Amino acid sequence: MTAAAAKSTAHSIVEASPRSRAVAGSLVILYAVITLLPMVWIVATAFKSQSDAIAYPPKVLFEPTLEGYVNLFTVRTRQTADFIAKLPPPSTWYDVIVRKHDMVIAGPSKVVPRFVNSLIIGFGSTFLAVFLGTLAAYAFSRFRIPLADDLLFFILSTRMMPPVAVAIPIYLMYRQLNLTDTRLGMILLYTAVNVSLAVWLLKGFIDEIPREYEEAALVDGYTRLQALRKVVLPQAVTGIAATAIFCLIFSWNEYAFAVLLTSGEAQTMPPFIPFIIGEGGQDWPAVAAATTLFVVPIVLFTVLLRKHLLRGITFGAVRK
């Protein structure tokens, strides 16, 4: 028996041996590689030429090009070689890339407005869901609400049906209300779906915060809302951050409703990306480029809130 193991017999937590650490470490690394591999492939594909992207067997080493990104952001037209020869020399690096394929840039593609739609709808609905969810969860946690359990179950049940089941009624409703293909409509829809998750998650977090904190504030002359803002919210930050990430990931990735309800003005990235067509079918490098850009905000948001997610562990000013 090693000294470390002997020392730890008095405790229920046994210190890991170097070998078990090594095994655990390599398992984690293996899992990370498996998880990250598709991501790496997507990022790589975005820098391939059209022919490299569909080459078989797949190419691991290739000559990188920005064609995918240029194609993603532009609309191009094919011209005769004569026409291109008569044009003044290309003024930018992307003109150079495009003309190699006998094409000229006709204008910007729709990717930027679609991306903006995704940002507005994703963050807008996340904010609303977390805001409403926090208030509702606080009320469920602190006040005696008649039929509270039934109401909570009802709220949860809104999440139980697959989108297909409610697609037609929602489509009809939205048409009546002129909400189809509007950002407002999508924000409201995603908020409605997310708020159930938010209420349930946040109620758990708020239940953990002792009432005495607010009661102390009430006795000190704070109002309910002031106590909520100054005492409860700072301590629920961990839960709010986690909830916000879940909500954002849902509304950011949502495909079914987005396909059904948006086509132009309010279209988000998920229905847009698969239909990036090049000549002779799907433009895979451009699709990969769009996907890469699509993932960035979620990664940034998660990294930004990471501190709060990890902080929950050593929380609490009470020694028991």
How far is 308 from 243, CA to CA, in rounded Å?
Answer: 11
144 beta partners? none
Nearest in space to 288 (alpha carbons), one of 81, 44, 73 = 44
Min separation Cβ 318 and other proteins, Å:
6
Give the per-residue contact string, 143-182, with other proteins (x = CB under 8 A; - = no).
Answer: ----------------------------------------
Taking a C-beta distance cutoff of 8 angstroms, is the pair 218, 150 a contact? no
> Interface with other proteins by CB under 8 A: which range of 21-29, 128-136, 224-232, 259-267?
224-232
When the beta carbons of 121 and 227 are compared against other proteins, the nearer one is: 227
Pairing status of strand 281-282 against strand 277-278: antiparallel
217 in contact with other proteins (CB under 8 A): yes
307 in contact with other proteins (CB under 8 A): no
Give the CA dihedral 36, 42, 43, 46, nearest 10 degrees: 180
229 in contact with other proteins (CB under 8 A): no
Site for other proteins in 186-215 (CB under 8 A): 210, 212-213, 215
Min separation Cβ 228 and other proteins, Å:
13
Min separation Cβ 206 and other proteins, Å:
14
Min separation Cβ 235 and other proteins, Å:
6
CB atoms within 10 A of CB 30: 10
141 in contact with other proteins (CB under 8 A): no
319 in contact with other proteins (CB under 8 A): yes
Contacts of 228 (CB under 8 A, 6+ apart): 138, 214
303 in contact with other proteins (CB under 8 A): no
Min separation Cβ 234 and other proteins, Å:
4
> Interface with other proteins by CB under 8 A: which range of 188-196, 230-238, 278-286, 288-296?
230-238
Contacts of 41 (CB under 8 A, 6+ apart): none
16: left (phi over 0), alpha (psi -120 to 50) or beta: beta
315 in contact with other proteins (CB under 8 A): yes
How far is 133 from 195, CA to CA, in rounded Å?
Answer: 6
User: Which of 57, 60, 220, 264 touches other proteins (CB under 8 A)?
Assistant: 220
How far is 200 from 158, CA to CA, in rounded Å?
Answer: 12
Binding site for other proteins (CB under 8 A): 210, 212-213, 215-223, 226, 230-231, 234-235, 314-320
